[in-house]
């Protein structure tokens, strides 16, 4: 059998890009989808009725119908699963090179991530750094259900989604070990011109500065206390009333993990956001209140308990809450990855030009004025 051969595509005189930003219609290729709360509830009950699996994981994955395999995501880069544990159950430890955000939607329990133990309740969020052994337990009396968001879909497409179940060690080599049998040498990276271009030696390439990645916990009671204060901004406020669950390790890239952020939002009754768009895609889980989203001109109704791909990348969209109870929602968006790649084109006002956030000056709200 002969080796596979590459396909050659002649792009002579072809357009520089598939289409200009003004012409893009991303929702045609990856349209919004809603997993209704009733479906999620049925899956919770179905998983709970199963015999206890050998590894303790009762899990279902929510996959967008346009997603490839490998690359099974709810958006092109984010995989979403629903996990259920009965009282007294726990999972077998696992280690993976994906990073995760967990969000508890029923019950509570305990998570062990690396050397940290986290006690969590309903609507708490916490992250799992890469390659740290983790497991979960239901230490309460109620059924536990969690939504887990990870960059496993992206790693699947790259063919490098690594998972070890019940690992026997922590997977971290001792600092004194050197697989090459040599000694560590500190060599300088040095500039070669006035524009800042530099040369880095191989010894630094294979041993970059180590920045520890910690498991962090965002308790809902504390987040909600701060979130509810944003209701005082009133109806004249033009921004979105939210807080990013910020992981300082992500620095200026604004992440909960290096790949995506998690934000928690309050939408007081009767609030309508102005239309905007961004290259990053968004997944919303609504856990209180009701409203609608308009994406590329089409209206989508949602309510508490619904999980929605609410903004395909570069789709014009906005969200609104109905009169009455406020809306609370968790949003997962792959902004940090796009900021790092210098690809985060963002258009906060459709009448003004888009900007590359993180490389160009961003946008402002009228917060001081209200």
Strand partners, 283: 309, 332
Let me know: does 60 contact 74? Beta carbons within 8 Å: no
Close Cβ partners of 338 (under 8 Å, ≥ 6 residues apart):
279, 280, 344
Residue 140 lies in a domain: yes
Helix (H) / strand (E) element for 40: namely: helix 37-49
Helix, strand, coil percent values for the chain (each to nearest 5): 15, 30, 50
Residue 185 lies in a domain: no
pTM of the model: 0.93
Residue 203 lies in a domain: no
- What span, in angstroms and rounded, lies between the C-alpha atoms of 299 and 321? 13
Residue 184 lies in a domain: no
pLDDT score of 112: 98
Q: Is the dihedral of CA 329, 333, 335, 336 positive or negative?
A: positive
- Count up the domains in the chain and report the number: 1
Residue 309 has pLDDT above 90, yes or no: yes
Q: Residue 338's domain spans which residues? A: 27-167+216-349
pLDDT score of 186: 83
Share of the chain above pLDDT 90, in %: 83
Close Cβ partners of 165 (under 8 Å, ≥ 6 residues apart):
55, 92, 93, 94
Q: How many C-beta atoms surround the C-beta of residue 357 within 10 A?
A: 22
Mean pLDDT to the nearest integer, 301-324 = 96
Residue 213 has pLDDT above 60, yes or no: yes
Residue 205 lies in a domain: no
CATH number, domain of 313, equals 2.60.120.10
pLDDT score of 11: 80
| Residue 129 in tokens | 């750094």
Mean pLDDT to the nearest integer, 182-198 = 89
Residue 189 lies in a domain: no
User: Which stretch of 82-86, 110-114, 185-189, 202-206 has the lowest confidence by average pLDDT?
Assistant: 185-189
52 DSSP assignment: P
């Amino acid at each position: 059998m002969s080796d596979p051969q590459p396909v050659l595509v002649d792009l002579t005189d072809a357009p520089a890009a598939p289409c200009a930003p003004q012409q893009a219609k991303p929702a045609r290729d990856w349209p919004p989808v809603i997993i209704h709360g009733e479906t999620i509830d049925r899956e919770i009950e179905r998983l709970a009725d199963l015999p206890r699996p050998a590894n303790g994981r009762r899990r279902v994955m929510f996959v967008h119908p346009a997603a490839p395999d490998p690359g099974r995501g709810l958006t092109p880069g984010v995989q979403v699963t629903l996990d259920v544990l009965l009282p007294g159950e726990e999972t077998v430890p696992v280690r993976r090179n994906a990073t995760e955000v967990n969000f508890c939607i029923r019950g509570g329990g305990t998570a062990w991530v690396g050397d940290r133990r986290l006690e969590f309740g309903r609507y708490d969020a916490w992250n799992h750094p890469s390659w740290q052994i983790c497991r979960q337990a239901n230490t309460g009396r109620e059924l536990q259900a969690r939504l887990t968001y990870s960059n496993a879909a992206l790693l699947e497409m790259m063919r490098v989604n690594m998972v070890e179940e019940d690992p026997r060690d922590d997977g971290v080599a001792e600092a004194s070990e050197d697989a090459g049998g040599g000694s560590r040498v500190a060599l300088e990276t040095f500039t070669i011109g006035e524009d800042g271009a530099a040369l880095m030696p191989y010894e630094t390439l294979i041993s970059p500065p180590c920045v520890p990645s910690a498991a962090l916990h965002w308790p809902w009671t504390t987040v909600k206390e701060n979130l509810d204060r944003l209701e005082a901004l009133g109806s004249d406020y033009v921004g979105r009333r939210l807080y990013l669950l910020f992981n300082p390790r992500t620095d200026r890239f604004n992440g909960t993990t290096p790949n995506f952020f998690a934000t928690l939002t309050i939408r007081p009754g009767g609030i309508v956001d102005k239309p905007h768009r961004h290259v990053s895609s968004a997944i919303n889980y609504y856990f209180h209140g009701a409203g609608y989203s308009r994406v590329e001109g089409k209206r989508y109704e949602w309510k508490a308990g619904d999980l929605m791909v609410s903004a395909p990348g570069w789709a014009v969209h906005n969200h609104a809450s109905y009169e009455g109870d406020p809306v609370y929602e968790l949003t997962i968006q792959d902004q940090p990855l796009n900021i790092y790649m210098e690809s985060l084109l963002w258009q906060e006002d459709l009448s003004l030009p888009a900007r590359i956030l993180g490389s160009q000056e961003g946008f402002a709200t009228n917060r001081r004025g209200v």
